[in-house]
Amino acid sequence: MLRCPECSAEIDVDEDEVEEGEILSCPECETELEVSQTHPVALNPISDDLEEDEDVEEEEEEDDEDFDEDGDLPDEDDLDEDDDDEEE
């Protein structure tokens, strides 16, 4: 008998018939679980947190555009010069 790593509910599956990479769903908390290994069977939750982490990383990359090549914030004078260049 397998247990959900999130809520510890019993998951009724035949441990001899699951395959690595297979996706199961917890009947209690409805968390999707991936079989990460078969002997012994190990389950890892697949969560929306991964998608949220990717969104945060994308936002951080967008924010990095505000920094110069040294990783410093540009001076206001530098920003004004950039704006002047774009207008021409």
C-alpha span between 45 and 31 (Å, rounded): 7
pLDDT in tens, 13-62: 888 899 999 999 999 999 999 999 998 999 999 866 555 555 556 665 55
Task: Report the pLDDT value the prediction gives residue 25, as an integer from 0 to 100.
Answer: 92
State the span(s) of the chain assigned CATH 2.20.28.160: 2-46
Please tell me the pTM assigned to this model. 0.51
Task: Report the pLDDT value the prediction gives residue 56, as an integer from 0 to 100.
Answer: 56
Mean pLDDT value of segment 54-80: 60
Task: Report the pLDDT value the prediction gives residue 54, as an integer from 0 to 100.
Answer: 55
Task: Report the pLDDT value the prediction gives residue 76, as an integer from 0 to 100.
Answer: 61
What is the Rg, in whole angstroms, of the alpha carbon atoms belonging to the chain? 24
Give me the CATH topology for the region 2-46.
Rubrerythrin, domain 2 (2.20.28)
Q: Indicate the pairing of strand 23-25 with strand 32-38.
A: antiparallel
